[in-house]
Each structure stands twice: as C-alpha cells, then as structure tokens.
A = this chain, B = another copy of it.
Amino acid sequence: MNNGYASLSGLETPAAIIDTVPMHRNIKRMQARMNALGVRFRPHVKTSKCSQVVQAQREAGACGITVSTLKEADHFFADGITDILYAVGVVSSKLPHVLRLRRRGCDLKIVTDSAEAARAIVDFGAEHGEAFEVWIEVDTDGHRSGIRPEAPALLEVATVLHQGGARLGGVMTHAGSSYDLYTPQALEAMAEQERAGCVRAAERLREAGFPCPVVSVGSTPTALSAKTLQGVTEVRAGVYVFFDLVMRGVGVCSTEDLALSVLTTVVGHQTEKGWAIVDAGWMAMSRDRGTQKQSHDFAYGQVCGLDGAVLPGYILSGANQEHGILSREGAPDPDIAKHFPLGTLLRILPNHACATGAQFPAYHALGPDGGITQWSRLHGW
C-alpha cells in the first residue's frame, strides 16, 4: 500500500481513507479489461458518490455513468456528465424529476421491467412531449428485478414502449448473485449466464422488429470473470473502484487492491477479555456483515496498521454506535494493551465499500506522496 501514510496521523478519527494508488490501479485494470473485451464501460457511481473518483474513471476511458438515485444524476450532471443510466425501475412519481433533468440537457436513460410501468412512462411522455429513452431490465439470475429473457413480457414491454413513442434504447441486466460465488469456475459461468441471457433478450427484441442498440451487463465479479462478451455493448460495475473484504472473499481482488479503509484510534481496553476499544463502531463501518456468509467472517472488518499492512488475526469483532471491539480471532490476546496501546492509529478494511463509504460526508484521499485531500461525498436522496 501507500508509504506516505504519516500524514494520516493528523486526522481526527474515525475517517474514511481512500488510498489513491490502488484506486487508480483498480480503475486502469477494469478499463483495460473492458477495452480488451471490446466493450464500453459505464461505472456505477453508487460506490463512491464522489466527483473526484468518477473523474478518474472518466479520464481512464469510461463512457457515461450508472446511478442508483436521481440525486446522483443531479450531482454528476452538474459535474458535466450527460450520459447517465438510472438503473432502478422508475415509477410515475419520479418521472417529473427525470423530465426536469432531460429538459436541462441530461441524456438520462431509465429502466423498466413491466408493461404497466412502461405504459406510465409513455403516457407521461405523451403528456409532456418527451420521448424518454428506456432500457428493459432483464433478469438473468433470479436475484432481484427484471424480465426473464424468454418471458412473453419482454415483447409486451417493448411493444408498449415502441408504440407509445418512447425510445427503446436496449436491454440491461445485473447478475448480483455473483457476490455469493467464490470460485473462478462459478464466476466465469455466472458471467456467461449474464451475457448469454442479456444477449438472448436483445435477439428476441430484434427478431420481433424492435431496435435494441445497447446490451448492458455487469457486476464487479462478472466483469472481472467474463471470458467473452460477444453481443454485449457495455459493462457496468461499481465496487471494483475500491474493492472490499467481500470482493476479496469472492476472489476477484487481493488485499493490496483494497483502496478504502477506516482510520481509527484505540480509546480503551478490556484486558481480561482481550479487547481493545476503538472509535470506529458501526456508525463508521456500517452494519454491513457481508463476510458473515463467506468462508472467512471478519465481523465488522479486518485490522491493519497505519501503513495499511494487515495485522493477521485481528478483527473488529463487535460494534456499538461509536465503539468498535478489536480482538484476536480464536483465543483472546492477553497482551492486547501492549500490542495496541492507547492512542494507536489503525486502519480497518470494511466488508462492503459502498456501505462504509456512505457513513461519511467526505473521504480523505491519500496520494502517492502522502498528501491528503478531502473529497466530499453525496448523502441521501
């Protein structure tokens, strides 16, 4: 990790630290992979919600962005980004907001997975003289939303959109089930399932005479595991920019790729129990327990020194709102107070970067020279 870490000792804790060296490496790695596979890359900005991070993704070659809320669309449109996909099924009550953005020049695309929602979109569009660009959400792994590639509803939705005057922009899917896998074989198979399902949906639309220029797939694990992306035009992924313990457990990154950590201070001990108390509780780490279902459960996070080097065997085993309990896995450490004296600064690797980042109004970005810059982060809706 970063060697110029001494500057961190001047920060009040807890603080969210982005190590920009691995962050830039992660960005370049993903973009190079997408370039090699011959597809455009549309990062999901829900992970960082941060202008500087997204700027780095764009400079590396990203085409457009994916957002999870309309507030993100507002923010990044204000940053000058026009090609935006809002990747959550839209409902009537959100269409005025979508319309406002489009009227101001944002090329905002929306998604749907039902004829009823599609009808609401075209009705609202007709009322306001707007041809919304709509992508149909495809379900390739059964984990959440979308229409199965072979389902009759696919053509029904396309018909409603096309006849209603909307612009049928394409199909999109997200194989979120990939987060529950952990072997290269299973990940490669899921990537192929995601690709094949989405391409099949596009083919059905085209065979029926509908336009379907975009075929958009993605999740960090599948994006990093796909052997071919034939028929796919673009990929979306979010958490790859920081990675986290869950992604390491899935097997798509190593410890040195983890770019987000929480800086914390040892504020007390319960020596008899082998506990050090730190000032990163669940308010800082989030309540995400994503490694709980993986082969190695890190509770609320894995403990590193200020230099970012893992201190093997130490985890954040418990968390109250502003208190974290640091202990050794297995037998308690009777020398916990000697190993972690009062005032010691540590960095905790989080289970889930999207959830941990969200707990902070700003990141502290640590540059290769040890310089620290504050990067603000969106919060709320």
From A31-39, A224-232, A276-284, give the one contacting chain B. A276-284
Task: Choose one: B92, B145, B287, B354; the contact of A288 (CB below 8 Å).
Answer: B287
Task: Choose one: B13, B68, B145, B320; the contact of A268 (CB below 8 Å).
Answer: B145
From A241-249, A303-311, A328-336, A356-364, give the one contacting chain B. A356-364
- Check A381 against B91 for contact (C-beta < 8 Å): no
Task: Choose one: B97, B286, B354; the contact of A12 (CB below 8 Å).
Answer: B97
Known: A277-B145, A321-B68. A379 touches B381 (CB 8 A): no
The answer to the question of A113 belonging to the interface, with a C-beta cut-off of 8 Å to chain B, is yes
Which residues of B sit under 8 angstroms from A289, Cβ to Cβ?
A: 287, 289
Q: Which residues 118-167 of A sit at the B interface, judged by CB distance below 8 A?
A: 120, 139, 144-145
**In the complex, A139→B94 CA distance in Å?**
50
The answer to the question of A114 belonging to the interface, with a C-beta cut-off of 8 Å to chain B, is yes
Using an 8 Å CB-CB cutoff, how does the interface string of A287-314 with B read, 1 for contact, 0 for none? 1110000000000000000000000000
> How many residues of A are in contact with the other chain, CB < 8 A?
58
- Check B322 against A88 for contact (C-beta < 8 Å): yes
- Check A321 against B354 for contact (C-beta < 8 Å): yes
Which residues of B sit under 8 angstroms from A114, Cβ to Cβ?
A: 268-269, 342
Using an 8 Å CB-CB cutoff, how does the interface string of A86-109 with B read, 1 for contact, 0 for none? 001111111001000000000000
Which residues of B sit under 8 angstroms from A381, Cβ to Cβ?
A: 12-15, 284, 360
- Check B380 against A94 for contact (C-beta < 8 Å): no
The answer to the question of A42 belonging to the interface, with a C-beta cut-off of 8 Å to chain B, is no
Indicate how many identical chains form the complex: 2
Which residues of B sit under 8 angstroms from A320, Cβ to Cβ?
A: 144, 176
**In the complex, A282→B282 CA distance in Å?**
14
- Chain A facing B: main interface SS: loop
- Check B46 against A268 for contact (C-beta < 8 Å): no
Task: Choose one: B91, B282, B322; the contact of A355 (CB below 8 Å).
Answer: B282
The answer to the question of A199 belonging to the interface, with a C-beta cut-off of 8 Å to chain B, is no
- Check A279 against B355 for contact (C-beta < 8 Å): no
The winner among A15, A267, A268, A325 for most chain B CB atoms within 10 A is A268
The answer to the question of A116 belonging to the interface, with a C-beta cut-off of 8 Å to chain B, is yes
Q: Which residues 60-74 of A sit at the B interface, judged by CB distance below 8 A?
A: 68-70
- Check B94 against A12 for contact (C-beta < 8 Å): yes
Which residues of B sit under 8 angstroms from A362, Cβ to Cβ?
A: 380
Which residues of B sit under 8 angstroms from A145, Cβ to Cβ?
A: 268, 270, 277, 323
- Check B343 against A91 for contact (C-beta < 8 Å): yes
**In the complex, A284→B380 CA distance in Å?**
8
**In the complex, A289→B286 CA distance in Å?**
12
The answer to the question of A117 belonging to the interface, with a C-beta cut-off of 8 Å to chain B, is yes
Which residues of B sit under 8 angstroms from A68, Cβ to Cβ?
A: 283, 321-322
The answer to the question of A266 belonging to the interface, with a C-beta cut-off of 8 Å to chain B, is yes
Would you give 27 A-B contacts (Cβ < 8 Å), ordered by A? A12-B70, A12-B94, A12-B97, A12-B381, A46-B321, A68-B322, A89-B277, A92-B343, A114-B269, A117-B267, A117-B268, A120-B342, A144-B323, A145-B268, A282-B288, A283-B355, A284-B381, A286-B286, A286-B287, A287-B287, A287-B288, A287-B352, A287-B355, A321-B354, A358-B359, A361-B379, A379-B379
